[in-house]
Amino acid sequence: MLRKLIKYDIKSISRVFIPMWILTPIVALMLSFSIRGMSTWTQNIISSGFMVAGNGILMMVMMLLFFGIMVGFFVMTILFTIQRFWNGLLKEEGYLMFTLPVKVWELIVSKAITATIVSCISILVGIFSSMILAVFSTDEFITSLAYAWKYMFGVVWKIDARFIVNFILCIILFIVMLVENVYHVYTAMAVGQLWQEHKILGSCLSYVGISMIVSILGNVMETIFVEISPWDWDFYINEYMDVIYLLILLFISVMQVLIYHVITERILSTKLNLE
Amino acid sequence: MEWKLDDNRPIWMQLQEQLTRKILSGWYRAGEKLPSVRELAAEAGVNPNTMQRALAALDSEGLTVTNRTTGRSVTEDEAILEGMRASLAEGIIKQFYDSAAELGYTREHALELLKRREK
Amino acid sequence: MDKMLIQCQDVWKRYGNKEALRGLNLQLEGGKIVGLLGPNGSGKTTLIKVLNGLLQPEQGLVLIDGETPGLYTKSLISYLPDKPYFSGWMKVNDLFELFEDFYADFDRAKAEQMCKVLQIDSNLRMKTLSKGTKEKVQLILVMSRKAKLYLLDEPIAGVDPAARDYILTTILNNYNPEGTVLISTHLISDIERVLDEVIFIQNGQVIRQELVDDIREKEGKSVDELFREVFRTIPYGGGAW
C-alpha cells in the first residue's frame, strides 16, 4: 500500500516540479550566454577604459536575477512540501486519504519520502544549474575550477578509504537532516490542526515551539555529556574522531526523525480533527 | 401502469394492493414470470426490502408462487385468482354501500339508484 | 445476541466546548437502507465521521462489524462526504485508478459504464467539471463499490429534483444488497419511500429509531409528518439531557 501511496504523491507533485526542473537549467543556460554576450560587448569598449563599472553592474544584476530564481525555486519546494501535507491530509483531500484502507503511518511516510525525493532532486537541479551558469558564462571558470579541484584533492584531501567513508556519511547525514526538517514541519502541522480555530497560526507557533524544545534539549544534553560528565573525552579523541563525530550527528538526527514520526502518527491516529 | 404511492400508509401494503390489481386485471397473466425484486423495486422507486415484503404477502395469499430455479410467477390456479377477484369485488361493493349509507341512503335505496343508472 | 453492523455506546464528541454527540447510543443491523434524519447541527455529519474514522470521539465505544474504526472498517465503508474531496488536477480516470488500487471491492467496469450513461468524459480533470457533475462522479465512485456499509452524507442536498431522482435511483440500483446504506438528510419527503428504517437524531442523541412502515402503520402518517411533529414538540435550546 505504501508503494501505491507514494505513486500517487509523486504523480500529484510531478506535474508542478518536472517543468520547474527542466526550466531552471534552461534559464541558467540562457543567462550564461547573455552574460557572455555582454562581457564581450563591453570588452570592446573597455579599451577606452570607459565601461568597466557598467559591466560590473550588469553582471551583478544578472547574478542577482539567477540568485532570485534559485531562491524562488527552493521556497517553492518548501511551500509545496507544506502544502501537500496540509491540503493532502488535513483539508478536504484528507477525507479521501483517511478513509482509504491504509495505516496512518503509511500516509505520513509516503508524504515524507516524496518530499525528500523532491527536495533532493531540486537541490541537484540547483547545483547543476549553477554549474551551467558558471561554466558557460566565462571561459576562466573551467580553468579555475580545475585548479581548485587539483588543489583540494591534491593538497587538502587525500582520496583514500577514509575520505570515501566520510564522504558517504556526509551525504547520508545530509539526507537524514533533510528528512528531519520535513518531519519537523509535519509535526508542527499535526499539532497545529488540534487548534479549534487559527490552525495555520497554531502550526507556525508549534514550529517555533518545537525548534525551541529541540535547542533546549540539545543544550541540556551537551551539558550532561560534555561539561558535567565524569568521562574524560580527551581520552576518546583519536585519529577516528571525524568519523565518530559524523556518526553521533547521524544518530541524533535519526532519533529526531523517529520522535517526530511517532508524535505525528499518534496525533493523526487518535486526535484527527477533520471538520 | 404507474405506481401510485402515498407516504401516509405502509408502502408494502400499497405495493401489495397494486400488484394484486395488476395480476387480476391481466397486466401480469396467469403463469407469467414476474420481474425480479430489484427490478420491481427500481420501477416503483422503493427499497427492495419493501418490495420483497409485498411479494411475500402475495406468496402467502397464493397469488404468486416462488420456484427456486425459475423465480416468482403468477399462479395458474384459476380458483385462487377467481377467489381473489371475488373478494376484491366484495370490498368494492361494501365500500359502495358504506359510502351511500354515509349520505343517508338505505341499502335498498342505494341499489335502486345503481339500477336506475344502468338504464 | 447476533452481530450488529454498527454499534455505538455512549459516544461523546466535543468541538472545543460545543458538544456534537452527547452519549449517543445506536445499534444497526446489516442489509437495510436507513435514513439518518435530524435538523441542521443535530450531529448527523459528526456521527458519520466518527463511524468512518475521520473523527475520534472523546469517550464511548464505536464498533463496525465488531471492530473499532481502523484499517478493516475502512475497507468495508464506502463514504460519500458532504463536500467534494478531490484534488482538481486529477482526471476522472485517475480517480478510478486510485479506487481500483486501494479498494478490492471497486468495480471499475461499472463505474465506467455509469460515466458513459451520463456522458461524462473520463479524461477530463476534476477542476473543469461543474459542481453537479463532480457530485455525480463522486456518487459513481462510491456506489461502484460492493461495500458492507455505505455512509452517504447529505447526497441530495442542494440539487434539483431531477438530479435528486437520479441520485436515489443510482443508490437503489447499485448498492450491495447485503450491505447497509445509511443516508443522512433533512429532506425527508424526497427520500422516505426508499427507506427501511429511520433514525431521528437531535442534540447529539438518537431519539427514535423505527421501521418506516411501522411508523405509517402505527401513526397513520408519513415519516416527514412525524419528523415535523417530533422536532416541533421537543423544545429547542441546548443543554437538554
Domain boundaries, chain C: 6-233
**Could you say which of A106, A128, A153 is where a domain stops?**
A153
Cell readout for C215 is 411508523
- Nearest by CB to residue C196, choosing from B13, B38, B47, is B47
Domain co-membership, A86 together with A191: no
pLDDT tens track for B56-70: 999 998 889 888 888
pLDDT at A99: 93
Which positions in chain A have a beta carbon within 8 angstroms of at least one beta carbon in chain C?
A: 1, 4, 8, 11-12, 15, 87-88, 92-96, 98-103, 196, 270-275
> Out of C168, C195, C222, whose CB is closest to B8?
C222
In this structure, whether the domain defined by C6-233 belongs to CATH 1.25.40.10 is answered with: no
- Residue finishing a domain among A93, A123, A153: A153
Tell whether C106 lies on the interface with A, counting CB pairs under 8 A.
no
Q: Determine the distance in angstroms separating the CA of B114 from the nearest CA of chain C, rounded to an integer.
A: 33
Alpha carbon of C139 to those of A99, C2, C93, C154, C175: distances in Å? 15, 31, 15, 11, 11
Which one is predicted more confidently, A199 or A183? A183
What is the rounded average pLDDT of the residues C58-87?
A: 92
**C49 neighbourhood in chain A, CB within 8 Å:** 274
Helical H segments across B25-105, by residue range = 37-44, 48-61, 78-102
The CA distance from C53 to the nearest CA of chain A, in Å, is 7
For residues C59 and C11, is the Cβ–Cβ distance under 8 A? yes
* Contact: chain A with chain B (3+ CB pairs below 8 Å): no
Are residues A69 and A189 part of one domain? no
> What is the H or E stretch that residue B74 is in?
strand B71-74
Provide the shortest C-alpha distance from residue C57 to chain B (in Å): 32
ipTM of the complex: 0.87
Residues A77 and A169 in one domain: no
Cβ-based contacts of C225 with chain B (< 8 Å):
8
Closest-CA residue of chain A to C51: A99
| pLDDT over threshold 50, residue C241 | no
* Residues of chain C with C-beta less than 8 angstroms from the C-beta of A99: 52-54, 74, 77, 79
Q: Are residues A144 and A183 in the same domain?
A: no
Q: Give the domain-ending residue among A98, A123, A153.
A: A153
Shared domain check, A145 and A251: no
Q: Is B104 exposed, middle or buried (0-12, 13-18, 19+ CB in 10 A)?
A: exposed
For residue range A133-157, list pLDDT tens digits in order: 878 777 777 777 778 877 777 776 7
Of C83, C98, C103, the CB nearest to A92: C83
Contact between residue C57 and residue C204 where contact means Cβ atoms under 8 Å apart: no
Whether residue A97 is found in the same domain as residue A11 = yes
A70 and A196 fall within a common domain: no
Q: Is A126 in the same domain as A176?
A: no
Both A43 and A65 in one domain: the answer is yes
Nearest to A88 by CA among A225, A198, A216, A186: A186
The nearest CA of chain A is from the CA of C142 a distance in Å of 11
Share of chain B above pLDDT 70, in %: 98
Residue-number span of the structural domain to which A85 is assigned = 1-153
A135 and A187 assigned to the same domain: no
Task: Note the pLDDT tens digit of each residue in C180-231.
Answer: 999 999 888 888 889 999 999 999 999 999 999 899 889 888 899 898 888 8
Structural domain tally of chain A? Answer: 2
CB atoms within 10 A of CB A242: 12
Same domain, A21 and A61: yes
C-alpha angle with apex A31: A27 to A37, nearest 5 degrees? 150
Cell numbers describing residue A261 = 514520526
Q: What is the pLDDT of residues A222-246, one digit of tens each?
A: 888 777 766 666 666 666 777 888 8
Is residue A97 domain-shared with residue A176, that is, in the same domain? no
Asked if B25 reaches chain C (Cβ–Cβ under 8 Å), the answer is: no
Interface B-C, measured as beta-carbon pairs within 8 A, has a size of 55
Say how many CB pairs under 8 Å bridge A and C.
60
